Structure 1
Amino acid sequence: MENKTIVAFDLYGTLLSTDSIVKHLGQHFSSTTAQSISKSWRRYQLEYTWRLNSMGRYDSFSNITRNSLRHALAEHGEKPEKDVIDEILRAYDSLSTFPDVPSALGQLAHRPEITAVVFSNGTQDTVTNSVHHSPDLSPHRAVFKEIITVDEVRQFKPAPAVYAHLAQTIGKLPSSQMADLWLVSGNPFDVIGARSCGMHAIWVDRGRRGWIDAALPDLQPTAVVHDLNDILTVIQ
Protein backbone atom coordinates (compact mmCIF):
# COMPACT_ATOMS: atom_id res chain seq x y z
CA MET A 1 0.00 0.00 0.00
CA GLU A 2 3.02 2.26 0.34
CA ASN A 3 2.77 3.78 -3.17
CA LYS A 4 -0.98 4.29 -3.08
CA THR A 5 -3.24 6.87 -1.50
CA ILE A 6 -4.94 5.30 1.51
CA VAL A 7 -8.54 6.33 2.11
CA ALA A 8 -10.34 5.04 5.21
CA PHE A 9 -14.13 5.19 5.07
CA ASP A 10 -16.18 5.32 8.22
CA LEU A 11 -19.16 2.98 7.95
CA TYR A 12 -22.12 3.96 10.14
CA GLY A 13 -23.28 7.47 9.34
CA THR A 14 -20.99 7.79 6.32
CA LEU A 15 -21.60 4.87 3.97
CA LEU A 16 -24.59 3.35 5.75
CA SER A 17 -27.50 5.48 6.89
CA THR A 18 -28.40 4.64 10.48
CA ASP A 19 -31.71 6.42 9.83
CA SER A 20 -32.63 3.69 7.35
CA ILE A 21 -33.55 1.46 10.31
CA VAL A 22 -36.69 3.61 10.68
CA LYS A 23 -38.43 1.58 7.98
CA HIS A 24 -37.96 -1.62 9.98
CA LEU A 25 -38.85 0.03 13.29
CA GLY A 26 -42.06 1.17 11.59
CA GLN A 27 -43.16 -2.47 11.41
CA HIS A 28 -43.43 -2.49 15.21
CA PHE A 29 -44.15 1.12 16.20
CA SER A 30 -45.96 4.16 14.84
CA SER A 31 -44.12 6.23 12.25
CA THR A 32 -43.46 9.08 14.68
CA THR A 33 -42.29 6.73 17.43
CA ALA A 34 -40.07 4.80 15.02
CA GLN A 35 -38.30 7.98 13.91
CA SER A 36 -37.83 9.15 17.48
CA ILE A 37 -36.51 5.76 18.63
CA SER A 38 -34.04 5.71 15.74
CA LYS A 39 -32.60 9.10 16.69
CA SER A 40 -32.37 8.22 20.39
CA TRP A 41 -30.80 4.87 19.59
CA ARG A 42 -28.04 6.43 17.53
CA ARG A 43 -27.46 9.15 20.12
CA TYR A 44 -27.06 6.66 22.96
CA GLN A 45 -24.98 4.31 20.82
CA LEU A 46 -22.39 7.04 20.31
CA GLU A 47 -22.72 8.41 23.84
CA TYR A 48 -22.01 4.98 25.31
CA THR A 49 -18.75 4.70 23.33
CA TRP A 50 -17.62 8.11 24.58
CA ARG A 51 -18.55 7.26 28.17
CA LEU A 52 -16.60 4.01 28.03
CA ASN A 53 -13.58 5.79 26.55
CA SER A 54 -13.68 8.35 29.35
CA MET A 55 -13.88 5.63 32.01
CA GLY A 56 -11.15 3.50 30.48
CA ARG A 57 -13.68 0.69 29.98
CA TYR A 58 -14.58 -1.33 26.89
CA ASP A 59 -17.52 -3.33 25.61
CA SER A 60 -18.07 -4.58 22.09
CA PHE A 61 -19.94 -2.33 19.70
CA SER A 62 -22.46 -5.14 19.26
CA ASN A 63 -23.32 -5.04 22.96
CA ILE A 64 -23.38 -1.25 22.91
CA THR A 65 -25.79 -1.30 19.98
CA ARG A 66 -28.11 -3.70 21.81
CA ASN A 67 -27.93 -1.80 25.10
CA SER A 68 -28.50 1.58 23.49
CA LEU A 69 -31.53 0.19 21.65
CA ARG A 70 -32.94 -1.03 24.97
CA HIS A 71 -32.31 2.44 26.43
CA ALA A 72 -34.09 4.15 23.54
CA LEU A 73 -37.05 1.76 23.74
CA ALA A 74 -37.41 2.23 27.49
CA GLU A 75 -37.23 5.99 27.07
CA HIS A 76 -40.22 5.76 24.76
CA GLY A 77 -42.13 3.45 27.09
CA GLU A 78 -41.80 0.50 24.72
CA LYS A 79 -41.19 -3.02 26.04
CA PRO A 80 -41.05 -5.38 23.05
CA GLU A 81 -40.30 -9.07 23.45
CA LYS A 82 -36.73 -10.28 23.11
CA ASP A 83 -37.43 -11.80 19.70
CA VAL A 84 -38.55 -8.39 18.40
CA ILE A 85 -35.35 -6.77 19.70
CA ASP A 86 -33.31 -9.55 18.09
CA GLU A 87 -35.13 -9.00 14.80
CA ILE A 88 -34.44 -5.26 14.90
CA LEU A 89 -30.77 -5.90 15.58
CA ARG A 90 -30.57 -8.30 12.63
CA ALA A 91 -32.07 -5.60 10.44
CA TYR A 92 -29.30 -3.27 11.63
CA ASP A 93 -26.86 -5.59 9.86
CA SER A 94 -28.44 -4.71 6.52
CA LEU A 95 -28.80 -0.93 6.65
CA SER A 96 -29.22 0.98 3.41
CA THR A 97 -26.52 3.25 2.05
CA PHE A 98 -26.92 6.96 1.51
CA PRO A 99 -28.07 7.62 -2.09
CA ASP A 100 -24.68 8.94 -3.22
CA VAL A 101 -22.67 5.93 -2.05
CA PRO A 102 -23.10 3.41 -4.91
CA SER A 103 -22.04 5.86 -7.62
CA ALA A 104 -19.07 7.10 -5.57
CA LEU A 105 -17.83 3.58 -4.93
CA GLY A 106 -18.39 2.75 -8.58
CA GLN A 107 -16.03 5.58 -9.52
CA LEU A 108 -13.56 4.54 -6.84
CA ALA A 109 -13.35 1.06 -8.36
CA HIS A 110 -11.71 2.67 -11.41
CA ARG A 111 -9.08 4.53 -9.41
CA PRO A 112 -6.31 1.93 -8.91
CA GLU A 113 -4.02 4.52 -7.33
CA ILE A 114 -6.38 4.68 -4.32
CA THR A 115 -6.60 1.93 -1.72
CA ALA A 116 -9.90 2.06 0.16
CA VAL A 117 -10.52 0.45 3.53
CA VAL A 118 -13.44 0.43 5.95
CA PHE A 119 -12.56 1.87 9.35
CA SER A 120 -15.20 1.42 12.02
CA ASN A 121 -16.06 1.26 15.71
CA GLY A 122 -17.92 -1.96 15.02
CA THR A 123 -16.64 -5.45 15.69
CA GLN A 124 -15.03 -7.36 12.85
CA ASP A 125 -18.04 -9.67 12.56
CA THR A 126 -20.60 -6.87 12.72
CA VAL A 127 -18.86 -4.67 10.16
CA THR A 128 -18.24 -7.59 7.82
CA ASN A 129 -21.92 -8.57 8.08
CA SER A 130 -23.00 -5.00 7.38
CA VAL A 131 -20.75 -4.67 4.33
CA HIS A 132 -21.83 -8.04 2.95
CA HIS A 133 -25.55 -7.85 3.79
CA SER A 134 -26.45 -4.27 2.95
CA PRO A 135 -28.37 -4.55 -0.33
CA ASP A 136 -26.80 -1.33 -1.63
CA LEU A 137 -23.27 -1.73 -0.28
CA SER A 138 -22.62 -5.43 -0.86
CA PRO A 139 -22.31 -5.10 -4.68
CA HIS A 140 -19.35 -2.75 -4.07
CA ARG A 141 -17.63 -4.64 -1.26
CA ALA A 142 -14.67 -5.55 -3.49
CA VAL A 143 -13.70 -1.86 -3.51
CA PHE A 144 -12.52 -2.23 0.08
CA LYS A 145 -9.20 -3.99 0.46
CA GLU A 146 -9.52 -4.36 4.20
CA ILE A 147 -11.93 -3.94 7.09
CA ILE A 148 -10.25 -2.34 10.11
CA THR A 149 -12.04 -2.14 13.45
CA VAL A 150 -11.26 -1.11 17.02
CA ASP A 151 -11.49 -4.62 18.52
CA GLU A 152 -7.77 -5.02 19.10
CA VAL A 153 -7.39 -1.54 20.59
CA ARG A 154 -10.44 -1.86 22.86
CA GLN A 155 -11.13 1.85 22.55
CA PHE A 156 -13.47 3.82 20.33
CA LYS A 157 -13.19 6.82 18.06
CA PRO A 158 -11.99 9.52 18.63
CA ALA A 159 -9.33 7.98 20.94
CA PRO A 160 -5.85 8.56 19.41
CA ALA A 161 -4.98 4.87 19.78
CA VAL A 162 -7.70 3.99 17.28
CA TYR A 163 -6.18 6.11 14.51
CA ALA A 164 -2.70 4.83 15.36
CA HIS A 165 -4.08 1.29 14.98
CA LEU A 166 -5.42 2.20 11.54
CA ALA A 167 -1.99 3.44 10.49
CA GLN A 168 -0.16 0.41 11.84
CA THR A 169 -2.58 -2.02 10.22
CA ILE A 170 -1.91 -0.59 6.77
CA GLY A 171 1.83 -0.33 7.30
CA LYS A 172 2.25 3.32 8.24
CA LEU A 173 4.15 4.74 11.22
CA PRO A 174 1.84 6.59 13.64
CA SER A 175 4.77 8.74 14.70
CA SER A 176 5.56 10.16 11.27
CA GLN A 177 3.20 8.99 8.50
CA MET A 178 -0.30 9.96 9.62
CA ALA A 179 -0.41 12.67 6.94
CA ASP A 180 -0.28 9.89 4.33
CA LEU A 181 -3.79 8.82 5.35
CA TRP A 182 -7.21 10.19 4.46
CA LEU A 183 -10.37 9.69 6.49
CA VAL A 184 -13.82 10.11 4.96
CA SER A 185 -16.54 10.50 7.56
CA GLY A 186 -19.93 12.04 8.10
CA ASN A 187 -19.30 12.21 11.85
CA PRO A 188 -17.63 15.42 13.13
CA PHE A 189 -16.14 13.70 16.19
CA ASP A 190 -14.40 11.23 13.88
CA VAL A 191 -13.08 14.00 11.63
CA ILE A 192 -11.65 15.88 14.61
CA GLY A 193 -10.13 12.69 16.02
CA ALA A 194 -8.32 12.05 12.75
CA ARG A 195 -7.18 15.65 12.34
CA SER A 196 -5.90 15.73 15.92
CA CYS A 197 -3.67 12.77 15.05
CA GLY A 198 -2.31 14.41 11.89
CA MET A 199 -4.46 12.69 9.27
CA HIS A 200 -6.25 14.35 6.40
CA ALA A 201 -10.02 14.19 6.86
CA ILE A 202 -12.96 14.91 4.58
CA TRP A 203 -16.25 15.67 6.25
CA VAL A 204 -19.32 14.56 4.28
CA ASP A 205 -21.83 17.31 5.04
CA ARG A 206 -24.92 15.93 3.34
CA GLY A 207 -27.16 18.20 5.41
CA ARG A 208 -25.30 21.29 4.13
CA ARG A 209 -25.14 22.73 7.63
CA GLY A 210 -21.55 23.88 7.37
CA TRP A 211 -18.81 23.08 9.86
CA ILE A 212 -19.98 24.23 13.30
CA ASP A 213 -18.18 21.77 15.59
CA ALA A 214 -16.33 23.77 18.24
CA ALA A 215 -14.82 21.10 20.50
CA LEU A 216 -11.39 22.16 19.24
CA PRO A 217 -11.93 25.35 17.21
CA ASP A 218 -8.43 25.26 15.77
CA LEU A 219 -9.09 21.90 14.10
CA GLN A 220 -11.00 21.89 10.82
CA PRO A 221 -11.64 19.24 8.17
CA THR A 222 -9.12 19.14 5.34
CA ALA A 223 -12.12 19.47 3.04
CA VAL A 224 -15.91 19.50 3.22
CA VAL A 225 -18.07 17.85 0.57
CA HIS A 226 -21.84 17.61 0.26
CA ASP A 227 -21.86 14.48 -1.86
CA LEU A 228 -19.60 11.44 -1.56
CA ASN A 229 -18.86 11.60 -5.28
CA ASP A 230 -16.95 14.83 -4.66
CA ILE A 231 -14.23 13.19 -2.57
CA LEU A 232 -12.44 12.05 -5.71
CA THR A 233 -11.88 15.66 -6.75
CA VAL A 234 -10.34 16.36 -3.34
CA ILE A 235 -8.06 13.33 -3.22
CA GLN A 236 -5.62 13.60 -6.12
Structure 2
Amino acid sequence: MTITTCVFDAYGTLFDVSAAARRAADADPALADIWQPLSEDWRRKQLEYSWLRAITGDHVPFREVTGNALDWAMERHGLTGDALRARLMDLYFVLDAYPEVPAMLDALLAKGLRAAILSNGSPDMLEAAVSSAGIGARLEAVLSVEDVGVFKPARSVYDLVGTRMGCAPEQVLFVSSNGWDAAGAAGYGFRTAWVNRAGLPMDRLAARPHHVLSDLTTISELC
Protein backbone atom coordinates (compact mmCIF):
# COMPACT_ATOMS: atom_id res chain seq x y z
CA MET A 1 0.00 0.00 0.00
CA THR A 2 1.29 3.47 -0.91
CA ILE A 3 2.59 5.77 1.83
CA THR A 4 0.30 8.77 2.20
CA THR A 5 1.22 10.06 5.64
CA CYS A 6 4.51 10.76 7.40
CA VAL A 7 4.31 10.88 11.19
CA PHE A 8 7.23 12.15 13.26
CA ASP A 9 8.27 11.76 16.84
CA ALA A 10 9.06 15.22 18.19
CA TYR A 11 11.85 15.22 20.77
CA GLY A 12 15.20 14.18 19.35
CA THR A 13 13.64 13.69 15.92
CA LEU A 14 12.37 17.10 14.82
CA PHE A 15 13.62 19.04 17.86
CA ASP A 16 17.15 18.95 19.29
CA VAL A 17 16.77 17.93 22.94
CA SER A 18 20.30 19.12 23.73
CA ALA A 19 19.45 22.68 22.73
CA ALA A 20 18.03 23.70 26.12
CA ALA A 21 21.19 22.97 28.11
CA ARG A 22 23.42 24.26 25.31
CA ARG A 23 21.60 27.60 25.14
CA ALA A 24 21.62 27.91 28.93
CA ALA A 25 25.39 27.41 28.86
CA ASP A 26 25.75 30.20 26.30
CA ALA A 27 24.45 32.60 28.96
CA ASP A 28 26.06 30.94 32.00
CA PRO A 29 29.79 30.15 31.85
CA ALA A 30 29.40 27.89 34.91
CA LEU A 31 27.62 25.40 32.66
CA ALA A 32 30.24 25.42 29.94
CA ASP A 33 31.92 22.17 30.98
CA ILE A 34 28.84 20.24 32.10
CA TRP A 35 25.96 21.18 29.82
CA GLN A 36 26.43 18.14 27.59
CA PRO A 37 26.45 15.43 30.30
CA LEU A 38 23.67 17.34 32.05
CA SER A 39 21.61 17.20 28.87
CA GLU A 40 22.35 13.51 28.33
CA ASP A 41 21.32 12.60 31.89
CA TRP A 42 18.20 14.75 31.61
CA ARG A 43 17.12 13.00 28.42
CA ARG A 44 17.95 9.52 29.70
CA LYS A 45 15.94 9.97 32.89
CA GLN A 46 13.08 11.55 30.96
CA LEU A 47 12.80 8.40 28.84
CA GLU A 48 13.27 6.03 31.76
CA TYR A 49 10.56 7.75 33.76
CA SER A 50 8.15 7.62 30.81
CA TRP A 51 8.72 3.87 30.38
CA LEU A 52 8.29 3.17 34.09
CA ARG A 53 5.10 5.20 34.26
CA ALA A 54 3.74 3.38 31.21
CA ILE A 55 4.41 0.04 32.93
CA THR A 56 2.96 1.01 36.30
CA GLY A 57 0.06 3.05 34.96
CA ASP A 58 1.10 6.10 36.99
CA HIS A 59 0.64 8.53 34.13
CA VAL A 60 1.41 12.22 34.50
CA PRO A 61 1.88 14.85 31.79
CA PHE A 62 5.25 14.79 30.02
CA ARG A 63 5.91 18.26 31.37
CA GLU A 64 6.07 16.74 34.88
CA VAL A 65 8.23 13.85 33.73
CA THR A 66 10.60 16.35 32.13
CA GLY A 67 10.83 18.36 35.35
CA ASN A 68 11.44 15.24 37.44
CA ALA A 69 14.22 14.17 35.09
CA LEU A 70 15.79 17.64 35.24
CA ASP A 71 15.74 17.59 39.04
CA TRP A 72 17.63 14.27 39.03
CA ALA A 73 20.16 15.49 36.47
CA MET A 74 20.78 18.77 38.29
CA GLU A 75 21.38 16.97 41.57
CA ARG A 76 23.77 14.55 39.93
CA HIS A 77 25.85 17.43 38.60
CA GLY A 78 25.73 19.47 41.81
CA LEU A 79 23.49 22.18 40.39
CA THR A 80 20.94 24.02 42.50
CA GLY A 81 18.67 27.02 42.22
CA ASP A 82 15.09 27.64 41.18
CA ALA A 83 16.17 30.22 38.61
CA LEU A 84 18.40 27.77 36.72
CA ARG A 85 15.73 25.08 36.81
CA ALA A 86 13.11 27.50 35.51
CA ARG A 87 15.45 28.69 32.76
CA LEU A 88 16.15 25.14 31.58
CA MET A 89 12.47 24.22 31.60
CA ASP A 90 11.57 27.37 29.68
CA LEU A 91 14.21 26.56 27.08
CA TYR A 92 12.85 23.03 26.70
CA PHE A 93 9.58 24.54 25.48
CA VAL A 94 11.38 26.31 22.61
CA LEU A 95 13.91 23.73 21.48
CA ASP A 96 15.69 24.32 18.19
CA ALA A 97 14.47 22.26 15.25
CA TYR A 98 17.19 20.40 13.38
CA PRO A 99 18.31 22.51 10.41
CA GLU A 100 16.99 20.15 7.72
CA VAL A 101 13.45 20.02 9.14
CA PRO A 102 11.72 22.87 7.21
CA ALA A 103 13.06 21.79 3.81
CA MET A 104 12.26 18.14 4.53
CA LEU A 105 8.65 18.98 5.41
CA ASP A 106 8.36 21.16 2.31
CA ALA A 107 9.59 18.24 0.18
CA LEU A 108 6.88 16.00 1.65
CA LEU A 109 4.17 18.58 0.98
CA ALA A 110 5.44 19.04 -2.58
CA LYS A 111 4.81 15.32 -3.16
CA GLY A 112 1.27 15.59 -1.80
CA LEU A 113 2.07 13.76 1.43
CA ARG A 114 0.54 14.53 4.81
CA ALA A 115 2.77 15.27 7.80
CA ALA A 116 2.02 15.04 11.50
CA ILE A 117 3.65 14.69 14.91
CA LEU A 118 2.97 11.86 17.36
CA SER A 119 4.72 12.57 20.64
CA ASN A 120 4.93 11.84 24.35
CA GLY A 121 4.97 15.61 24.79
CA SER A 122 2.24 17.49 26.58
CA PRO A 123 0.05 19.56 24.23
CA ASP A 124 1.35 22.87 25.61
CA MET A 125 4.96 21.74 25.15
CA LEU A 126 4.34 20.63 21.59
CA GLU A 127 2.43 23.78 20.69
CA ALA A 128 5.29 25.93 21.97
CA ALA A 129 7.97 23.91 20.15
CA VAL A 130 6.09 23.85 16.85
CA SER A 131 5.38 27.57 17.05
CA SER A 132 8.97 28.43 17.96
CA ALA A 133 10.29 26.39 15.04
CA GLY A 134 7.79 27.95 12.64
CA ILE A 135 6.63 24.62 11.21
CA GLY A 136 2.97 24.60 12.21
CA ALA A 137 1.68 25.35 8.71
CA ARG A 138 3.50 22.29 7.40
CA LEU A 139 1.80 19.88 9.82
CA GLU A 140 -1.72 18.51 9.47
CA ALA A 141 -1.89 17.37 13.10
CA VAL A 142 0.07 17.38 16.34
CA LEU A 143 -0.93 14.30 18.34
CA SER A 144 -0.10 13.89 22.02
CA VAL A 145 -0.22 10.80 24.21
CA GLU A 146 -2.33 12.84 26.63
CA ASP A 147 -5.34 11.73 24.56
CA VAL A 148 -4.82 8.13 25.75
CA GLY A 149 -2.97 8.64 29.05
CA VAL A 150 0.02 6.39 28.46
CA PHE A 151 3.46 6.90 26.94
CA LYS A 152 4.99 5.24 23.89
CA PRO A 153 5.49 2.51 22.87
CA ALA A 154 1.98 1.51 24.03
CA ARG A 155 -0.11 0.42 21.05
CA SER A 156 -2.91 2.78 22.04
CA VAL A 157 -0.57 5.68 21.27
CA TYR A 158 0.06 4.47 17.72
CA ASP A 159 -3.73 3.95 17.37
CA LEU A 160 -4.07 7.74 17.51
CA VAL A 161 -2.67 8.04 13.98
CA GLY A 162 -5.43 5.99 12.37
CA THR A 163 -8.11 7.51 14.57
CA ARG A 164 -7.14 11.12 13.88
CA MET A 165 -5.65 10.85 10.37
CA GLY A 166 -7.99 8.23 8.90
CA CYS A 167 -5.24 6.12 7.36
CA ALA A 168 -4.27 2.46 7.55
CA PRO A 169 -0.99 1.52 9.29
CA GLU A 170 0.46 0.43 5.92
CA GLN A 171 -0.02 3.97 4.60
CA VAL A 172 2.12 5.51 7.36
CA LEU A 173 5.84 6.17 7.44
CA PHE A 174 6.69 6.69 11.09
CA VAL A 175 9.97 8.48 11.81
CA SER A 176 11.78 8.55 15.15
CA SER A 177 15.26 9.15 16.50
CA ASN A 178 14.56 6.58 19.20
CA GLY A 179 15.37 3.05 18.08
CA TRP A 180 12.88 1.55 20.53
CA ASP A 181 10.12 3.84 19.22
CA ALA A 182 10.86 2.99 15.58
CA ALA A 183 10.87 -0.70 16.50
CA GLY A 184 7.62 -0.41 18.44
CA ALA A 185 5.96 1.36 15.52
CA ALA A 186 7.25 -1.29 13.10
CA GLY A 187 5.76 -4.00 15.29
CA TYR A 188 2.48 -2.08 15.27
CA GLY A 189 2.39 -2.17 11.47
CA PHE A 190 3.80 1.18 10.33
CA ARG A 191 6.64 1.49 7.88
CA THR A 192 9.38 3.06 9.97
CA ALA A 193 12.59 5.04 9.70
CA TRP A 194 15.05 5.31 12.56
CA VAL A 195 17.03 8.57 12.48
CA ASN A 196 20.22 7.30 14.09
CA ARG A 197 22.16 10.54 14.42
CA ALA A 198 24.58 9.09 16.99
CA GLY A 199 25.42 5.92 15.05
CA LEU A 200 24.14 3.63 17.81
CA PRO A 201 23.72 -0.15 17.51
CA MET A 202 20.33 -1.56 16.58
CA ASP A 203 18.11 -2.33 19.55
CA ARG A 204 17.51 -6.05 20.13
CA LEU A 205 13.72 -6.02 20.04
CA ALA A 206 11.00 -8.11 18.41
CA ALA A 207 10.66 -5.72 15.44
CA ARG A 208 13.19 -3.57 13.65
CA PRO A 209 12.86 -0.31 11.72
CA HIS A 210 12.65 -0.63 7.96
CA HIS A 211 15.11 2.19 7.25
CA VAL A 212 18.07 3.63 9.17
CA LEU A 213 19.12 7.21 8.36
CA SER A 214 21.72 9.62 9.72
CA ASP A 215 19.36 12.62 9.50
CA LEU A 216 15.98 13.63 8.06
CA THR A 217 17.15 14.95 4.71
CA THR A 218 16.04 12.01 2.56
CA ILE A 219 12.70 11.20 4.21
CA SER A 220 10.69 12.19 1.12
CA GLU A 221 12.62 9.62 -0.95
CA LEU A 222 11.20 6.81 1.20
CA CYS A 223 7.60 7.61 0.24
The TM-score with structure 1 as length reference comes to 0.87
Alignment of 1:18-57 (within 5 A): 18-26=17-25, 27-28=27-28, 29-57=30-58
How many pairs does the alignment contain?
Answer: 220
Alignment of 1:78-97 (within 5 A): 78-80=79-81, 82-97=82-97
Superposed displacement of residue 215, structure 1: 2.6
SS at match of 2:18: helix
Alignment of 1:1-236 (within 5 A): 5-26=4-25, 27-28=27-28, 29-80=30-81, 82-112=82-112, 114-133=113-132, 137-138=133-134, 140-172=135-167, 177-209=168-200, 211-216=201-206, 219-235=207-223
Rounded to whole Å, the distance in 2 between the matches of 1:78 and 1:227 is 33
More displaced, 224-233 or 49-58? 224-233
Q: Deviations over 1:72-109 (max 9, x none)?
A: 001112111x2331221111111112232232123223
| Contact persistence 2:173–2:191 (CA under 8 A) | yes
Letter of the 1:179 partner, please give it.
E
| Contact persistence 2:21–2:88 (CA under 8 A) | no
| Contact persistence 2:197–2:214 (CA under 8 A) | yes
Letter of the 1:70 partner, please give it.
D
Rounded to whole Å, the distance in 1 between the matches of 2:131 and 2:24 is 21
What 5-or-longer segments of structure 2 have no aligned partner?
Answer: none
Runs of 4 or more, structure 1, over 6 Å off, are none
| Contact persistence 2:108–2:114 (CA under 8 A) | no
SS at match of 1:50: helix
Greater helix share, 1 or 2? 2
Rounded to whole Å, the distance in 1 between the matches of 2:68 and 2:98 is 25
The verdict on how the C-alpha distance between 1:150 and 1:70 changes in structure 2, with shifts beyond 3 A counting, is same
Letter of the 2:212 partner, please give it.
V
Superposed displacement of residue 229, structure 1: 1.7
| Contact persistence 2:105–2:115 (CA under 8 A) | no
Rounded to whole Å, the distance in 2 between the matches of 1:178 and 1:107 is 22
Letter of the 1:128 partner, please give it.
E
Q: Deviations over 1:157-201 (max 9, x none)?
A: 1111110122212124xxxx3222220111111101101111111
What 5-or-longer segments of structure 1 have no aligned partner?
Answer: none
Superposed displacement of residue 124, structure 1: 1.2
Rounded to whole Å, the distance in 2 between the matches of 1:59 and 1:88 is 20
| Contact persistence 1:4–1:115 (CA under 8 A) | no
Rounded to whole Å, the distance in 2 between the matches of 1:208 and 1:72 is 24
SS at match of 1:201: strand
CA RMSD of the aligned region, Å? 1.7
Superposed displacement of residue 227, structure 1: 2.8
Rounded to whole Å, the distance in 1 between the matches of 2:157 and 2:179 is 16
Superposed displacement of residue 4, structure 1: 7.3
Superposed displacement of residue 56, structure 1: 1.5
SS at match of 1:109: helix
